[in-house]
Structure 1
Amino acid sequence: MKRTHTCSQLSKSDVDSAVTLIGWVESVRDHGGVLFVDLRDREGMTQVVFDPDRPDIHGQAGHLKDESVIQITGKVRARTPETVNAKMATGEIEVYADSLIVHNACETLPFPLEEEKADKVNEDLRLTYRYLDLRRKKMLNLLKLRSKASKSVRDYLNANGFLDIEVPVLFKSTPEGAREFLVPSRLNPGEFYALSQSPQQYKQMLMVAGVERYYSIARCFRDEDLRADRQPEFTQIDLEMSFIEREDMYALIEGMLKKVWKDVLDVDIPTPFPRLPYPDAMNRYGSDKPDTRFGLEIQDFTEDFANSSFKVFKGAIDNGGCLKAFNAKGLGDITQGEVKSLEDIAKTLGAKGLAYIVVRGDDPANWRSPILKFISEAELKALRERLNIEDGDLIFFAATGWEQACAILGRIRLESAQLLVKRGKMEISSDQYNFLWVVDFPLMLFDEEAGRYVASHHPFTAPVPEDVEKLTTDPKNIRSQAYDVVLNGSELGGGSIRIHQPELQNKVLRDVLGMSEEIVESRFGYMLKAFNFGAPPHGGIALGLDRMCAILGKAKSIRDVIAFPKTQKGQDLMASVPGPVQPKQLRDLHVATVELPKE
């Protein structure tokens, strides 16, 4: 069954050579009795000719269905000048078949595999027959791209002295994070593992162990509601280093991403990346992962509208909130339907409505807005000057608490940009790569529902040294040594310098986060103990490999760069997972299921 060549290798230099090819039938064409079969394998395609003067195989070839697996032997011959196919790598030759073996005849396909037709097929159907979907050139190329990116990462980290170390997937439950997948232990009845959300604690233990530089292409698991950019199981480029400061991490990751983009896309990305403090990112873009390929920056008008006659604005400001606005420049032709859609989006983020002004001409008397009558001349002047208002513009407002105002206008900013792109008034190129670091995150956030502080990233993140004294007096104003690397509105990865002193770690867990001594001991006791035996200063980061590859491959969803992804309901439609198990399996695990009452 050995093939002599792949379907991409043959050229004019192979003319008159005897060859053997194996692959899938891409198509069969009958030209006046002569059959032409495009034979495809992973590497490419070759045209095979079945001539009527070989009736033993010609008749068999005439019954071939697309996607059947065949093996042919034959002689390479040059195509005539008028039949050369410049679009094919092997377009100057064809193989005249002498023998044919059908290894597997294909049934009627559940959907067409031609790219344009397959893209219109329901995704659930494609996922049910994922092995067929992956035969498409586009999908196969995404898998190749992912493999190439992974190799580039490994090569870079290996060259920089990192050790590739596997860490356990079965870990202990740490319920203060995202919801976990629990795994019952048969050998320890009534006790459970959790599938690791990340190797965070293990990689810190490797630093205590003296490994100094660790990395892993790690599988991680979260039992959360899914979106286009989320999966219950995902892959991280996970690494940790000892004896570093933040600048060391920035330089390392910038070098790695520079190499990946060069190796995969042959694109040179400029370094170093810009640094953007978290407060600036939120104030200007309404997001801690801003897309800086376009403007539409948000501005604060709290002081300008402190005495506003519009009760909504004044009420928010008087209650300690703020007023923010931005100019969706050129979107003055927005339709009522589009305004309603944006308003609905704002309401999902907690807004009661969406205030706006449509600018028509230079005279405010001609502008369209339900709030215009409440805006004074001084307030209009401030808006004109700072937002550079011109005919055809559209101004959006948000008046509420700072975080919520940022989030609302941050989302409306993105939606406005898409409307402008749709109208041809703005271009956002997928070939433009605006990397940046978002830094100076708050160490703590106050959870109103829980009535206590929670870690902004995770409880092992070190505070900025000069802010340590605020831990018990002013937790919300402590800056952390955390950092996120962001690209075009997506967070590629995040990490931090870690706490390595047991006293400080204890203080954060107990005094600030309010964990009881029992909880601290049960979840983190081994780690605090390890910190008493010579723990080095260390820090790390985890980058989402799935998301990075989706951006590299211009895929619409990370599902496209995962070989066998789950649906938004967490199902593998091809293998019918999840599914029921046998009662004996549950008994062995000391697990019982209960049927919840219907709502």
Structure 2
Amino acid sequence: MKRTHNCGELTKKNLGQKVILQGWVKKTRKLGGLNFIDLRDRYGVTQLIIEDANLLNLSLLKPEFVIEVSGEVIQRKNSNPEMFTGEIEVKVSKIEIINSAELTPFEIKDNLESNEDTKMTFRYLDLRREELQKNFILRSKVNKIIRDYYCENDFIEVETPIFGKSTPEGARDFLVPSRTNHHKFYALPQSPQLYKQLLMIAGFDRYFQIAKCFRDEDLRIDRQPEFTQLDMEMSFATPEDIQNNIEGLLTKIIWETKKIKLKTPLPRITYAEAISKYGIDKPDLRFDLQIHDCNNIFSKTEINLFQNINSDSVRGIKVDHLIGKKEMEYLSETANQNKLPNLPFLKFNNGEWSGSLAKNLSDNEKKNLIEIFKIKSDCTLLIAKGEYNLVSQALGAIRNHVAKIYELFDKNEINLLWVIDFPLFEFSEEENRFVAAHHPFTQPKEESISDFDVNKKEALAAAYDIVMNGFEIGGGSQRITNEEIQKRMFKAVEMTPESVEKNFGWFINAYKFGAPYHSGCALGIDRILMILAQTNSIRDVIAFPKNSNGIDPMTNAPDVVSPNQLDELKLKLSK
């Protein structure tokens, strides 16, 4: 290459050397008779000093111009310890403009406060910022760690199809019409689930893939319509084998990127315990704030709200702060967003009780609250009544928001755990039936084998999720390989034999030719990177993401297509 060095590598070791640098102008400044330029590329910034005013009319040089300079590395008079190149500068003998640049719609700098859609419209400019480039250097490093780890452990990397068949029992598919097969559609894969199981039947034994996946669902900070996951599967493997394998990978990733040593084996808690203590199945255990049952405390209460509890649950959490009015309004809004109409509270301040529930609180109830919540100093109790799962979910969300308000966790901590013993089914109000909580190829736990298709509400799955800092970053299960159990499973989710044959016949047929028992897991690479990079949105670790409406403001995708394209596909748009 013509350049001899990049803009982030020159040090005192290079003093006296003649160098050629190329990059973008970060800024220019004049100091007396001297002119200075900060030259930037993805490796860093180097300060240039220009003593010869005849080299170039520097008033022509603007930020983001691309230039080439030749010069000598000299010692910098006023060193900058915050820069790797801060002890040197390049005395320029020749300067050439490679390309000029118009005024950018926002300044290229870190901690940029600018309209999100503006930044996404000019994403290629946003990606010039150092904090974003660091995210993608991290992403590249993590991908390499993954590939090295699995190749060292005798896994085979196999790419599975992007164009597949649309099947039920999952999220909404993205559909692609076929031009050569009129009125038929491909579906983009929500995951390579069925293909990787076929690879086990094919005898590949150990498979992995860094796979693109697609789901047409509502977006949020940790969700995009297209995402990347590590997909892996092992033959003759139990859930414990998979969990050990994933722990080994995450230990390696976190050590090599954060220099944090994980303690393994990771904690394992059941789904029921997670809901009971933390309200959600992806608890953040960097802080405590456990939920407590209060039914017994208020069984004979004078508080109108808690009378006639019947099948409802009264549950609460203790916050070791006297929550202010503004914060309480914020938490009440969180409760409403989680279908909890109100958020009653009690404050314990200098031995006195106050709050919306305090008026009719009996002495015995006060005593029991102090005992149950282990109250020793000023605090606020947030207590709610309603259906168990609804109250738990709402308090789980409130718990997370309380932790953010009062900064109850160390942002640099990495906390991981497995959640196990998930329900095999969940009830769909929309469809008025039980559906597979994971997918219909998930093996029931041994203790549920005999009656999982009858006792659906209590049936447990041999499924497991891994949680990092309150985000579900992956999950997997033992797969069904027994034909009789698979038939019972399909019947349990009310799939007719005709529907099974139409959607999964090609897959089920493979099991007739000898299949090993197998288990697997998928990790959300984007979510892991979001946490490691300590960013607030998954969009910051995806090069060209979509906004909250699923739109790419840069290309304006999705967009209309021409009538000719629709005619070729034999499609007509409805009004």
Q: Identify the TM-score tier after normalising by the shorter chain.
A: over 0.9
Partners of 2:314 and 2:483 in 1: CA distance: 43
* 2:115 maps to 1:122: yes
Answering whether residue 171 of structure 2 is matched by residue 178 of structure 1, we say yes
Instruction: Please report how far the alpha carbon of residue 174 of structure 1 lies from its aligned counterpart in structure 2 after TM superposition.
Output: 2.1
Q: Following TM superposition, by how much is the alpha carbon of 1:469 offset from its aligned partner in structure 2, in angstroms? A: 0.6
Secondary structure in structure 1 of the residue aligned to 2:522: strand
State which of 132, 135, 149 in structure 2 corresponds to 1:142: 135
User: With structure 1 as the length reference, what TM-score do the two structures score?
Assistant: 0.93
List aligned pairs for 1:264-283, cutoff 5 A. 264-283=257-276
- The question of 1:502 aligning with 2:493 is answered no
**Match of 1:531, SS?**
helix
Structure-2 residue corresponding to 1:556 = 536
The percent of aligned pairs where both chains have the same amino acid is: 42
Is residue 238 from structure 1 mapped to residue 231 from structure 2 by the alignment?
Answer: yes
Alignment of 1:146-545 (within 5 A): 146-315=139-308, 317-318=309-310, 320-330=311-321, 332-335=322-325, 337-363=326-352, 367-421=353-407, 427-510=408-491, 512-545=492-525
- Distance in 2, matches of 1:303 and 1:349, equals 25
The 5 A counterparts of 1:92-103 are: 92-103=87-98
CA distance in 2, matches of 1:254, 1:48: 47
**Pairwise CA distance, 1:309:** 4.1
Q: Secondary structure at the match of 2:545?
A: coil
SS where residue 469 of structure 1 aligns?
coil
Give the match for residue 527 of structure 2: 547
> 1:203, 1:240 within 8 Å by CA — same for their partners in 2?
yes
Structure 2 CA distance for aligned equivalents of residues 295 and 83 of structure 1: 48
| Structure 1 partner of 2:6 | 6
| 1:263, distance to aligned residue in structure 2 (A) | 1.1
Give the match for residue 67 of structure 1.
64
> Which amino acid letter does the alignment assign opposite residue 169 of structure 1?
I
C-alpha contact (below 8 Å) 1:33/1:52 kept by paired residues: no
Tell me which residue corresponds to 2:19.
Answer: 19
| Aligned match of 2:560 | 580
Query: Structure 1 residues 391, 516: CA separation in 2 closer, same or farther (over 3 Å shift)?
Result: same
Distance in 2 separating the partners of 1:309 and 1:210: 67
C-alpha contact (below 8 Å) 2:168/2:503 kept by paired residues: no
Runs of 4+ in 1 over 6 A off after TM superposition: none
CA distance in structure 2 between the aligned counterparts of 1:310 and 1:102, rounded to whole angstroms = 77
Helix, strand or coil at the partner of 2:207:
strand
Unaligned 5+ runs, structure 1? 422-426
Deviation track 1:390-430 (CA, whole Å, cap 9, x = no partner) reads: 45211112222221121111112122222323xxxxx3111
Q: Contact 2:230–2:524 at 8 Å: present in 1 too?
A: yes
After TM superposition, the structure 1 stretch with the greater mean CA deviation from structure 2, 566-575 or 343-352, is 343-352
Structure 2 SS opposite 1:58: coil
Name which of structure 1's ranges 341-350 and 103-112 shifts more when overlaid on structure 2.
341-350
**One-letter amino acid matched to 2:383:** F
Please give the secondary structure, in 2, of the residue aligned with 1:358: strand
**Residues of 2 paired with 1:245 and 1:129: CA distance?**
47
What do residues 289-318 of structure 1 show as CA deviations (whole Å, max 9, x unaligned)? 001111111111223433444454343x31
**Cα displacement (A) at 1:256:** 0.4
Match of 2:182, SS state, is coil
Does 380-389 or 256-265 show the bigger shift? 380-389
**CA–CA separation in structure 2 for the residues paired with 1:555 and 1:284:** 27
Q: CA separation in 2, counterparts of 1:461 and 1:284?
A: 26
Matched residue pairs, number?
575
**Residue number in structure 1 paired with 2:84:** 89
**How big is the shift at 1:379?**
3.0
**Aligned residues of 1:139 and 1:560 also touching (Cα < 8 A):** yes
What letter matches 1:115 in structure 2? Answer: D
Residue of structure 2 in register with 1:424 after alignment: none
Judge which range, 271-280 or 339-348, deviates more: 339-348
Q: Using the TM superposition, give the Cα deviation of residue 373 of structure 1 relative to its aligned residue in structure 2, in angstroms.
A: 4.2
The alpha-carbon distance between structure 1 residues 312 and 45, as it changes in their structure 2 partners (threshold 3 A), is: same
